[in-house]
Amino acid sequence: MLHVIGLGLGDARDITVKGLEIIRMCDRIYLESYTSILSISLKDLERFYDCTILEADRELVENNADEILPKDEKENVAFLVVGDPFGATTHTDLILRAHEKNIKVNIVHNSSILTAIGCCGLQLYRFGETVSIPYWNNDWQPSSFYEKIISNRQRDLHTLCLLDIKVKEPTIESITKKNKEYMPSQFMSVSEAAIQLLQVIEKRFEETKEELALDKSSLVVGLARIGWDNQGIIACSLQEMASIDLGPPLHCLIIPAIKLHPLESEFITLYIRK
């Protein structure tokens, strides 16, 4: 059986009792290591779970997923995911591959950033489509995330922006080589995301000369390391967020609806930048 187990958002102790019991009876254990991070190292996890854990990077999961799946009916494999197993489409693909091979799959859920963001006081049922903000480069500067944010605001909905993570990404020059070279890890900050949003807004205004549904004075919420002991939350204007330092990753950014519920307004004042 393939067991896909959510680890939660913080450290080794966030795993469920059910998840830990399953890990300790599995023949192989993998940790998915490229869609998110925990506050502790792989060695710390191994000590707490009392087992050996194999690192599953993007190349293994997306290109060689069959290596992860159980080899026979007697083998149990655990695939550990930060947050909840269905927080990334990559994990859905792995589960579908298992079903195609008639391999039984067991899911153990846990907390996810998609629900934990409620800690900032914005009501979860008022969130619209979640968007991802990617790193730009000189040749690639997509802005479709902006259109989705505007669509949510026009429907009076909040937007969760998940910020880009680059872990063990091969350099363009090494893609065709047998021995790939990798770029340094990168984790987008709320300030970097705000800067890119401001650039999109400026370009849109130059094109239309019309008042926009999102501008530099709009309220936004920056969140960092949610679920960790040192999590950080701050609410301020988009312009101010461009210079905010919320410390180490992981970060995410929320663009609230234009009109807040009175309880949301009261709660979010706890995080207004003084």
Give 223: exposed, middle or buried? Use CB within 10 Å, 0-12, 13-18, 19+.
buried
For 119-138, give the DSSP string: GGS--GGGB---EEEPPPBT
Tell me whether residue 87 is annotated as binding.
Answer: yes
Task: Give the residue ranges of DSSP H helices in the chain.
Answer: 17-23, 42-49, 58-63, 89-100, 113-116, 144-154, 190-208, 238-241, 262-268
- Determine the 3-state secondary structure of 143 from DSSP: coil
Contact between 250 and 222 under an 8 Å Cβ cutoff? The reply is no
The answer to whether 14 and 111 are in contact (CB under 8 A) is yes
Q: What's phi and psi for 114, nearest 5 deg?
A: -65, -25
Residue 33 marked in a binding site: no
Helix (H) or strand (E) holding 219: strand 219-224
Instruction: Give the pairing of strands 2-6 and 219-224.
Output: unpaired
Sign of CA dihedral 221, 192, 246, 236: negative
Does the annotation flag 251 for ligand binding?
A: yes
Between CA 146 and CA 167 the distance in angstroms is 25
Is residue 39 marked as binding?
A: no
113 in a labelled binding site: yes
In the annotated binding site, the residues are: 9, 84, 87, 112-113, 163, 251
In the annotated binding site for S-adenosyl-L-methionine, the residues are: 9, 84, 87, 112-113, 163, 251
